[in-house]
Structure 1
Amino acid sequence: MRAATLTAFGSPLVVHDVPDPVAGGGEVLVEVLATCVPPYAAEVFSGERRYPLEPPVVPGVGGVGRVVRVGPDATRVKVGDLVWCDSTVRARDDALTPDITLQGWSSRGEGGARLARYLHDGPFAELMRVPTENVHRLPAGAAADPARWSALGVHTIPFGGLLAGGLAAGETVLISGATGNLGSSAVVVALAMGAGHVVAPGRNRAALDLLADRFGSRVSPVELSGDEDTDRSAMAAATDGPVDLVLDLLPPRAPSSAARAAVMTVREYGRVVLMGGVGMLGGADLALPYPWIMRNSVTVRGQWMYPRTANVGMIRLIAAGALDLVPERNTRFGLDQVNDAVTHAAAHGGPFDRTILTPRA
């Protein structure tokens, strides 16, 4: 098969012939049809983000494909099925605190690194070996445009955060980092889940206007100034009622003050979910006042990625029409154009802008 390989950090990806992966027991072999290229992929491949990725590696984060071969443990998935391949792989030998790797992308701790050395390669290739439990069948309608469904790799992440925060229908949620690729996804996912109102702060006026035009009165855009106190007041005043839930998706370059300003808009007994990258590249960490958390009975929790069941939930939301993929802008690249795709993704990381790699095109 042909694949795009990261041979060393700071080097372009190399497209070449490599041996076909061989699926063992508990695994499925999938022909990769499409995968989203994250806007920050160039930062990962350069080494700037310091991801625990070990070159040479075929990178990528999940994808849509056709099942080529199944193992003896598969009871529902069959050859020919169109499937979503979730990148979040969990070790099978600890149900309570399993080690986790994002296949072809990242990992957590030494156990996750060991798992990543076994399930090393991701979807920037014609074929990919995937654990059976990470393959999720797509509805028949997805066959009309499988590449569009690769946006699952974006939408399922904030869906996991909103599930972790216990978002209920009718509640008000504030999305910190709403003008980014993941943040704008969180806005549409929250609305699909039944949020009554979404506060969408950001510094990109054009992106804020896009959110307002698409979703109308259910979304309140807030243009941030960079002053923590001013911005906190503006976000708190953007909705008539209290903010029930704050989901933070700010990138690593964002200052901790921006995250703190958003977090501290949440109501008494409110919930905060942290999924962004603040502090990952150095700089001040998030510092929340102990008395404020305690006296207001605020719940603060972290969430990395999402539970396995979130894949099924997200597929259902799209299949039901609660989340519409049609308005998204898709720019597609073949495998030979992979480096162009990475460059394009870096320049097009705004709301609902997808860069899609189609290895079989």
Structure 2
Amino acid sequence: MRAAVLTEYNAPLQIREVPDPRPGPGDVLVRVMASGVNPLDIKIHRGEAAHAKMAPPAILGIDMAGVVEAVGPQVDEFQVGDEVFGMTGGVGGVAGSLAELAAVDARLIARKPRTLSMPQAAALPLGFITSWEGLVDRAGVAEGHRVLIHGGAGGVGYLAVQLALARGAQVFATGSPSSQEVIRQTGATAIDYTSTDVDQYVDRYTGGEGFDIVVDNVGGATLDASFAAVKRYTGRVLSALGWGTHSLAPLSFRGASYSGVFTLMPLLTGAHREHHGHILAHAAALAGDGALVPRLDSRSFALEDANSAHTVVENGTATGKVTVLPQL
């Protein structure tokens, strides 16, 4: 098969012929129809994501959607011809989705929703799983909650907004001036963080009480702002980017709680992988009901264009999730 291979960090991916993967026990072989490109893929490409544990030579690509071509031993829930999607590799030394074929752990995938195209399905896994693990698993988002999502037009934030709305929450999302309309189109209340400070929007939208749940998709100073925006006593701050040094005083003085989200853990450890498959089944159900629609960049990239796709994401010029289509 053909694959885009990382031969050394921060060097162009090389299109090479490599042996076809074989599905082992518990695996399925998937013909990859679309590979989603995440900012984490770019960091791995540059050699800046040691926690992802991906050393050259390697096939990158964390998210994928495709068609089952073969089923390994001990797999009963999928059969040849099933359309599936998932967050299946590209970290932890497991070959990713920038290839024509991928052997993937069947616990990590779910059936693709019929309402979504392959590129749309490939745009969901990492962002939706991150959002679910924070909003549902950690914070129990539900009707009546006021939820603040930082970076509401971003790859994760855009899905988090839709998930929180689908579960009955009242949702507010921060973004730049250019992203305000995108946020409003999801049904959330848009907040321009460049012209409104934390105290102002906490007063305006919560009467000074703070938000029940604050989701940080930016990190750094935005996580610090989250500690100041959360509701006293019962509030919960969530972040997948809490890797810096932060003062917990603002959070402690509010008596609130913080939860970290490390979405890669099942891929890196092998534990609890079935939970990712279950989460994606929820994503498929929401998409089937029209409550979850990813935002895609309008450009199409073939496997030979994988470096261009990475450049678009790295430069921040994408207008939605970028996908590579290995079968083009």
TM over 0.5: yes
Cα distance, 1:272 vs structure 2? 1.4
Q: Which residue of 2 aligns with 1:157?
A: 130
Query: What is the one-letter code of the residue matched to 1:175?
Result: I
Q: Which residue of 2 aligns with 1:43?
A: 43
Whether contact under 8 Å (1:40, 1:346) holds in the other structure is: no
Q: Structure 2 matches for 1:225-264, cutoff 5 A?
A: 231-240=197-206, 242-251=210-219, 255=220, 257-264=221-228
**TM-aligned CA distance change 1:328 to 1:46, over 3 Å:** closer
Match of 2:160 among 165, 178, 186: 186
Q: What residue ranges of structure 1 are gaps of 5+ in the alignment?
A: 88-102, 106-115, 280-284
Deviation string, structure 1 residues 44-96 (Cα, Å, up to 9, x no partner): 31223444321100001121011011123122210110011333xxxxxxxxx
**TM-aligned CA distance change 1:210 to 1:26, over 3 Å:** closer
Matched pairs, number: 311
Match of 1:274 among 230, 239, 244: 239
SS in structure 2 at match of 1:43: helix
**TM-aligned CA distance change 1:43 to 1:138, over 3 Å:** closer
Distance 1:224 1:262 in 2: 15
Distance 1:277 1:340 in 2: 30
Distance 1:349 1:259 in 2: 24
Distance 1:297 1:245 in 2: 13
Match of 2:194 among 212, 221, 224: 224
Distance 2:113 2:240 in 1: 29
Q: Which residue of 2 aligns with 1:353?
A: 320
SS in structure 1 at match of 2:75: coil
Q: Which residue of 1 aligns with 2:291?
A: 322
Q: Structure 2 matches for 1:1-361, cutoff 5 A?
A: 1-39=1-39, 41-50=41-50, 51-87=52-88, 103-105=89-91, 116-117=92-93, 120-142=94-116, 145-153=117-125, 154-163=127-136, 164-196=138-170, 198-202=171-175, 204-212=176-184, 214-215=185-186, 218-224=188-194, 231-240=197-206, 242-251=210-219, 255=220, 257-268=221-232, 269-276=234-241, 278-279=243-244, 285-289=245-249, 292-293=251-252, 296-305=254-263, 307-308=275-276, 309-325=278-294, 328-348=296-316, 353-361=320-328
Query: What is the one-letter code of the residue matched to 2:249?
Result: P
SS in structure 1 at match of 2:35: strand
Whether contact under 8 Å (1:220, 1:238) holds in the other structure is: no
TM-score normalised according to structure 2 size: 0.86
Distance 1:347 1:261 in 2: 26
Distance 2:122 2:287 in 1: 12
Instruction: Give the fraction of aligned pairs with identical amino acids, expressed as a percent.
Output: 30
Query: What is the one-letter code of the residue matched to 2:72?
Result: G
SS in structure 2 at match of 1:30: strand
Cα distance, 1:286 vs structure 2? 1.6
Whether contact under 8 Å (1:86, 1:311) holds in the other structure is: no
Query: What is the one-letter code of the residue matched to 1:104?
Result: G
SS in structure 2 at match of 1:261: helix
SS in structure 2 at match of 1:264: helix
Distance 1:222 1:139 in 2: 33
SS in structure 2 at match of 1:201: strand
Distance 1:47 1:289 in 2: 34
Distance 1:278 1:183 in 2: 18
**TM-aligned CA distance change 1:262 to 1:297, over 3 Å:** closer
Deviation string, structure 1 residues 224-273 (Cα, Å, up to 9, x no partner): 36xxxx7220231241454110111115xxx3x33112222111211111
Cα distance, 1:199 vs structure 2? 2.3
Distance 1:330 1:155 in 2: 20
Structure 1 segments of 4 or more deviating over 6 A?
Answer: none
TM-score normalised according to structure 1 size: 0.79
**TM-aligned CA distance change 1:302 to 1:136, over 3 Å:** same
